[in-house]
Amino acid sequence: RFSFDVDMYLERARKGEILEEIAIKVICAKVKEVLASERNVVNISSPVTIVGDVHGQFLDVIELFRVGGEVPNTNYLFLGDYVDRGAASVETITYLILLKLRFPQRFTLLRGNH
């Protein structure tokens, strides 16, 4: 039986680990439920840090949180374009969707064009 501990997976993802296939499948299913339950227009509490394209630059994302503040101490709005170009697209999107699972009211992910 598969046990899901979002904090454990979040810590592993923060270290840049690529998670097991079963874990990724469960994470995707859970974040799909969270995102599907959100309205098309979401209210975001200020102050908020707005983040543009990260394009799979995992280390830049980690640095962003180091400088800008960790969730849940800071509200974040990501504008999309989470993958593509960077060497760590899987690590980047995994970490971001785990943050969404853990802090759904403090962490907003918008759709970009990839």
pTM here is 0.93
* Closest by Cα among 68, 67, 76 to 102: 76
- How many CB atoms neighbour CB 93 within 10 A? 22
Q: Tell me the per-residue pLDDT of 39-88, one tens digit each, with 9 for 90 and over.
A: 989 899 899 999 999 999 999 999 999 999 999 999 999 999 999 888 89
Catalytic residue among 15, 25, 85, 114: 114
Kindly tell me if the per-residue pLDDT of 24 is higher than 80: yes
What's the pLDDT at 57?
A: 96
Domain ranges in the chain are: 6-109
What's the pLDDT at 2?
A: 64
Write down the mean pLDDT value for the chain: 93
Residue 111 confidence class, pLDDT cut points 50, 70, 90: confident
DSSP 76-94: EEE-S--SSSSTTHHHHHH
Say whether 114 is catalytic.
yes
